[in-house]
Amino acid sequence: MENIRLKKITAIWIIAVLLLFVAAITLGIIMRLNQADVMHLNPAKFYEDMTVHGLTMIGIWFVAGMAALNFIMERYVKTSYSANLIALIFTVIGVVMLWISAFVGQFHAGWTFLYPLPLRPLWDSWAIALFLFSIAVLGVGWLIWTISLMAALLRKYSISQVFAWQHLSNKNPEVETPPFVLISMISLIGVLTSLLAAVVLLILLFAEFYTHGSFTNDPLLMKNLTYYFGHTIANEMLYLGLAVIYELFAEISGRPKWKTTWYVTIAWNLTLFFVLGAFLHHMYMDFVQPESLQLIGQFASYLASLPSAAVTVFSIIVAVYRTKIKWSMPNLLFLIGTCGWIIGGVGALIDATISNNFVLHNTLWVPAHFHTYNAMGNVLFSLGFFCWFSTQFSAKEVVDRMRSLKIALLIIGGIGFLAAFYIAGADSIPRRYSNYPSELAAGKSYALLGAVSAMIYLIAIIMFFVNITKRCLKMLFTH
């Protein structure tokens, strides 16, 4: 009974995410077409698109990760259905408010809404309020969900068990902590921290907004808080996907389940800390930030990559190398997603080096690398889960006829779309430009390449969407 409710709400999450994904990609393609001079939006309209695209994408792939995490967590502990439902309701309300504030209220401060831009009188003040409240609604819903999942884990595991510390000294401890539980906990704490940073940020923004400027904020503090929240949540949502992979990859491949070992424990425990320091790399070009913090930013960014590369990626390679595996859509997507994830990571590391950042910061290199580990990493992790989820309950074996076509379209579209960003970034084309000045006209051709490739990617996504949604709907309307 319980499981049926969880199954249904997960199916609703999946349909909602895919629906919004198609919409947000369309916004992305519109942006690229505008940059290519094929479409001619007024700049404010472009930036409304951009703000909505960014926040919607971050939002949906975050909740996709959470929904998957919640669904699988039920295998180990009892999770709260109401928290899941509240998160769903709040997410829907928040997204609607967000879209209205942007498309009706013309709010367009970008997904990072960097202080003091959102509070400037560039749009109606009701739009500012609606936007801030939309973030607040999303934040509250997600906080409730995060805390409830943490509580679910902590009901069964003690603090030291949930971090798998008993695996450090003992090869076969009495209570085993599955890798899924460990990684879930680590990611949930990261998510919680970033959401709390958003709370502080919002309080400070509201304080200035409602005192009409008699209280003012420090721009440097606000920038730090903004990226503390923004960078961290974008980073942690990938780890939510990884938790699912640790659980499902072996299972789908018909291999023995992965076990927690001492190095898995160390790697993930360290990741908790490194990730929280990495956001500092967003302030490299703010020379006002103390040099020590700039260097911490570079080191934390480097260090955060080590555990993931040496443990997670290596584990996947070990699991696949010369091993007979039942390949199906989900584990293929996991494998390709991992590859995309680390390639994006390399792009990120290059940019997280201060001396490179000096000439790459806020060029298209930035969307290049984060779209790599999102569109070709995290999205594939979640799609893999969606495929697995939508097929595992059907009685008859599902044959995926167009598997190769779908994957080929995804990869071809994805590579073209990303290459257009990377090359443009290396060509000094700035990010977040609705139109390119004549000196940077090269950006237009890259934008066209990006738009066309993204359409190919979109075709693949629509194929997934139709397939998965059909099965999820069936699940919703049968018992």
Partner 1 sequence: MLKNVVYTLVIITCLCSQAWSQPQSDLREEENIYEQIYNAPLKLIDGKSTTVLQLAEKKPLILALIFTRCSGICSPYLLQLKENIKSQSADATKPFNVLVLSFDSEDSVADMVNLAKRFELLDDNNWHFAITDSITGLIKSVGFHPVWNDNIKQFDHDALLVGINTQGFIIKKLLGMRGESDVALLIESINNEFIPTYRLPGKSSLFSCFNYDPKTGKNTPGLGLLFIALPALIAMLLLFGIRFVVRSKSS
Partner 2 sequence: MQHSLLVFFAILSVVITAVFIFVYQSSLSASEENQGMKNTLQKRGWFLLILVVVLAMFASITIPKSPYFVYAKDIPSKVIHVAAGQFYFMMSYNAIDPKNPSSDPSIEVPVNQVVEFRVTSLDVNHNFGIYDSNNVLIAQTQAMPGYVNRLRCKFTKPGDYNVFCLEFCGSGHQIMRSSFTVK
147: exposed, middle or buried (Cβ count in 10 Å: 0-12, 13-18, 19+): middle
x-or-dash string of contact with ligand HEM, 49-78, rule CB under 6 A? -xx-xx--xx--x-----------------
List 363's β-bridge partners, or say none: 430
Q: Is 346 in the site for partner 2 (CB under 8 A)?
A: yes
For ligand HEM, the closer CB: 72 or 375: 375
66 sits near partner 1 (criterion: CB under 8 A)? no
Cβ–Cβ < 8 Å for 226, 114: yes
How far, in Å, are 36, 86, 190, 193 from residue 146 at the CA level?
41, 11, 10, 10
Residue 32 lies near ligand HEM (rule: CB under 6 A): yes
The CB-of-203 to partner 1 minimum distance in angstroms stands at 5
| Contact flag: residue 375 with ligand HEM (CB under 6 A) | yes
Cα gap 264→178, rounded to integer Å? 10
Max intra-chain CA distance, the chain: 68
Say whether residue 361 binds ligand HEM (CB under 6 A): no
Question: Which 251-310 positions form the footprint of partner 2 (CB under 8 A)?
Answer: 263, 285-288, 291, 294-295, 298-299, 302, 305-306, 309-310
Residues whose CB falls within 8 Å of the CB of residue 400, separated by 6 or more in sequence, listed in order: 328, 329, 387, 406
Q: Which two tokens stand for residue 179?
A: 């890798």
Pick from partner 2, partner 1, ligand HEM, none: which does 457 bind, CB < 5 to 8 A by kind?
A: ligand HEM
* Contacts (CB under 8 A) with partner 1, residues 112-171: 143, 147, 150-151, 154-155, 158-159
Q: Residue 66 or 368: which CB sits closer to partner 1? A: 66
Does residue 207 bind partner 1 (CB under 8 A)?
Answer: yes
- Inter-CA distances, 233 with 39, 179, 202, 230, 382, Å: 33, 21, 15, 6, 16
Which amino acid is present at 183? I
Rounded to whole angstroms, the Cα distance separating 72 from 69 reads 5
x-or-dash string of contact with partner 1, 281-320, rule CB under 8 A:
-----xxx-x-x----------------------------
Residues that bind partner 1 (CB under 8 A): 143, 147, 150-151, 154-155, 158-159, 189, 192-194, 196-197, 199-200, 203-204, 207, 211, 214-218, 220-221, 224-225, 228, 276, 286-288, 290, 292
